[in-house]
Amino acid sequence: ARDIRLAVVAGDGIGTEVVEQGLLALDTALHGSGVTISTTDFDLGARRYHATGETLTDTDLDAIRAHDAILLGAIGDPSVPSGVLERGLLLKLRFALDHYVNLRPSRLYPGVVSPLGNPGEIDFVVVREGTEGPYVGNGGAIRVGTPHEVANEVSVNTAFGVERVVRDAFARAAARPRKKLTLVHKHNVLVHAGHLWRRTVEAVNAEFPDVTVDYLHVDAATIFLVTNPARFDVVVTDNLFGDILTDLAAAITGGIGLAASANINPDRTAPSMFEPVHGSAPDIAGQGKADPTATVLSVALLLEHLGLTAEAARVEKAVADDIADRKGQDSLARVRSTAEVGKDLAARIAG
């Protein structure tokens, strides 16, 4: 019998509520499979920060490393200065555990209302680089608060870092029916970083000759996301552009209440992390109003990553069926509570 050690970081705001339903879905999906789950709760986020001043200690990190995967709810609270928990906890996890593939699938499930009048078929996945770019924390400022302040932010891009994520994206494209990869960058302005990405995509293409490659500047990519999202199959892009594009992608496919993500370490030198794209939503926290669907879909990505493909498919189908029954309501949580949605999804997963 296989036991999966899962680190659970429920985090802030609606994090706890959605993670509870994610765990229910996970348990249900594994029922009778012979695979069991042992969870460890990590007290990380705003509460811990206020109580101890800590965001993520080396001890936390070591303890988390001893797990097979991480399920994360949401991090962030207005009571904590902007950047502290993001940099000190969420991004620290992604960087320390080398989550260089930030995977964000976008699918317009039948029954979901898109803000687009004529969305067509939307089914693409963004492979967002997770450990480089403007996210590295390589910034600084001088003369802060004076008229002579200069604040810089450095985007760091390496051949090593770009090549591994590009190769991962090609492999994903090669495994999909359309076999199409779109590089998104801004190489006409960010010429050094952009040309590294471009050359790397060209070079790795030789290993995947049946994958068709095209390129879009990030500004043009946002246009196509609203005028012709069907053109996208696999998108590979840098950390910041990926952040922007995946929120837009979530919006056109029914909102961040449905958007799942996986922070993957493909080399499996550390646990990968699965989290909804949405944040902690303090305005609706504790009211049972959050839609746990994105977390349940993140659980499907977790099962997939653990090689439990049939279970992953069952979770995704449960979500798709549930959404189809919502009949045009863009967020079912307006009608059912977080727990009710979780229960309904679990019932569908149980079959």
Active site residues: 135, 186, 219, 243, 247
Q: Binding residue for ligand IPM (CB under 6 A) from 59, 146, 188, 269?
A: 188
User: What does 152 interact with, of ligand IPM, its own copies, none (CB < 5 to 8 A by kind)?
Assistant: its own copies
What is the maximum alpha-carbon separation in the chain?
A: 66
Candidates 22-30, 57-65, 223-231, 293-301: pick the segment binding its own copies (CB under 8 A).
223-231
CB of 195 to its own copies, least distance (A): 7
Q: Which position has the token pair 């109580």?
A: 51
Q: Which position has the token pair 């922007």?
A: 244
Number of Cβ within a 10 Å radius of residue 343? 15
Does 129 sit near ligand IPM (CB under 6 A)?
no
Alpha-carbon distance of 131 to 109, in angstroms, equals: 30
Does 140 sit near its own copies (CB under 8 A)?
yes
- The smaller minimum CB distance to its own copies, of residues 37 and 250, is found at 250
Is residue 78 annotated as involved in ligand binding?
no
Position 309, amino acid: T
Does 149 sit near its own copies (CB under 8 A)?
yes
Alpha-carbon distance of 15 to 13, in angstroms, equals: 5
- The smaller minimum CB distance to ligand IPM, of residues 12 and 311, is found at 12
Candidates 86-94, 144-152, 190-198, 266-274: pick the segment binding ligand IPM (CB under 6 A).
86-94
Candidates 53-61, 84-92, 197-205, 302-310: pick the segment binding ligand IPM (CB under 6 A).
84-92
Does 335 sit near ligand IPM (CB under 6 A)?
no
Angle at 84 between CA 79 and CA 87, to 5 degrees: 145
Alpha-carbon distance of 135 to 263, in angstroms, equals: 14
User: What does 283 interact with, of ligand IPM, its own copies, none (CB < 5 to 8 A by kind)?
Assistant: none
Is residue 284 annotated as involved in ligand binding?
yes
Does 155 sit near its own copies (CB under 8 A)?
yes
Structure tokens, 207? 């290993």
Is residue 348 annotated as involved in ligand binding?
no
DSSP of 48-61? HHHHHS-SS-HHHH
Taking residues 237 to 256 in sequence order and writing x for each that binds ligand IPM by CB under 6 A, - otherwise, the string is ------x-------------
Q: Binding residue for ligand IPM (CB under 6 A) from 3, 207, 214, 219?
A: 219
CB of 105 to its own copies, least distance (A): 17
Cβ–Cβ under 8 Å, residues 174 and 168: no
Cβ–Cβ under 8 Å, residues 288 and 17: yes
Does residue 216 sit in helix, strand or coil? strand
Spatial CA neighbour of 73 closest among 343, 338, 349, 347: 338
**Strands of 260-264's sheet, edge to edge?**
35-41, 2-11, 69-74, 272-276, 260-264, 101-107, 123-129, 234-237, 180-185, 212-217
Query: Which parts of 51-80 interact with ligand IPM (CB under 6 A)?
Result: none
Spatial CA neighbour of 235 closest among 333, 299, 166: 166
Residues making up the annotated binding site are 94, 104, 128, 219, 243, 247, 279-291
Give me the residues that bind its own copies (CB under 8 A), please: 76, 82-83, 86-87, 91, 114-118, 134-135, 139-141, 143-160, 163, 186-196, 198-199, 218-220, 222-223, 226-227, 240, 243-244, 246-248, 250-252, 255-256
Q: Annotated binding residues for NAD(+), as ranges?
A: 279-291
